[in-house]
Structure 1
Amino acid sequence: METNNTFTNETAVSPALFTTEALLNHWQGHRALTRRVIEAFPEDAFYNFSIGGMRPFSLLTMEMIGLAAPGIRGVAFGDWTFGDPVLDHSTPPPPTKQEVLNLWDLVTEYINTLWPQIRPERFEESEAAFGMYENTILNTIIYLIDNEIHHRGQGYVYLRALGVEPPAFWDR
């Protein structure tokens, strides 16, 4: 029997790598780990410590919050405005780490609330996220996750420099 190695429409179809539920769980697993990184910071260092000109982790956290909240709204409804200035990533963080964690938790619930409202076909649609970044909705979600991982990595460097053992990166 001869094997045909060319791809046809019939052979090019493959099962989905992620269900939408699995993608949400993946994102929320990263968010839970990032939350533990925030918790690990000493209060003063959360707001003031930096290395090599990088922003303090409180500002990095506000960027993650400021992208996730309007990001999920954009993903769900196509509304890419920043809207609420509290959720704008350029907004200074609240004065205590606990207030930042409360805001983090609020955004986590917001993601959980809006996620079921995303139409399945929406993931393959293309839009300019925040009016600037043309991509599929799926790739925009992956960007939001990647951005968080990137900044969490900076938090790991900070924690190690402070002599604080960060949470295990694989424990999501």
Structure 2
Amino acid sequence: MVMTLEQFREILGGNRRLTIRTIEAFPEDKLFTFAPIEPLRSFSKMILEILDIERGYTRGIALGEWEYSQPFAGVSTKAELLDSCHETKEDVQKWWPKITEERLHTVEKDPFFGGEMSHFERLHYALENEIHHRGQGFIYLRSLGIEPPAFWER
């Protein structure tokens, strides 16, 4: 491995801190309603997808229990969305110690999206998905005349 599990977890954590600051930068009404063009979704919907994927993958890798659920589907305020981020962080912190390097190298069919990949590739996909959607959030903020958070501050 190029980095330790703990180093990778810190990268994930730094990205999440930046994503949370991006959520905080949105006016509440625009967080749930604004999308610059069809078929783009609101930033809140993208965040819910990020949380669902992170929860599903981390739980599955750690416990071998694969479930793609949407526990935060009813979220309708910025405070609830931020609480959902914190709840996901707490659950992931609970599951993370059960993930071993050996487990990360295990290749299995993806139970949610198909195709085979290693569990590390799954976590990497989840990270890239978050970065991609946060980038969209930055564009949304700029479209609304709001300066996004500094990218380099994690």
TM-score range (shorter-chain normalised) is: over 0.9
Q: Distance in 2 between matches of 1:94 and 1:81?
A: 20
Offset of residue 95 of structure 1: 1.7
Matched with 2:128 is 146
Native 8 Å contact 1:43 1:97 kept in 2: yes
State the match for 2:57 in structure 1.
71
Q: What is the percent sequence identity of the aligned residues?
A: 38
Structure number with the bigger relative contact order (C-alpha 8 A, sep ≥ 6) is: 2
Cα drift, residue 77 of structure 1: 2.0
Helix, strand or coil at the partner of 2:80: helix
- Tell me, yes or no, if the aligned pair for 1:80 and 1:129 is still in contact at 8 Å: no
Once the 2 structures are TM-superposed, how far is the Cα of residue 134 of structure 1 from its aligned partner? 1.4
Task: Return the alpha-carbon distance in structure 1 between the equivalents of residues 121 and 91 of structure 2.
Answer: 20
After alignment, is 141-150 or 127-136 more displaced? 127-136
Secondary structure class of the residue paired with 1:86? coil
Larger Rg: 1
Assess, with a 3 A threshold, how the Cα gap between structure 1 residues 124 and 116 changes in structure 2: closer, same or farther: same
Q: CA RMSD in A?
A: 1.3
Partner secondary structure for residue 127 of structure 1: strand
State the alpha-carbon separation in 1 of the partners of residues 5 and 42 from structure 2.
33
Q: Aligned residues, how many?
A: 152
Tell me, in whole angstroms, the C-alpha distance in 2 between the residues paired with 1:72 and 1:135.
14
After TM superposition, the score normalised by the length of structure 2 is: 0.93
Among 138, 156, 161, the residue aligned to 2:143: 161
1:46 touches 1:58 (CA, 8 Å); kept in 2?
Answer: yes
Where in structure 2 are there 5+ consecutive unaligned residues?
none
Aligned to 1:18: 3
Look up the match of 1:108.
89
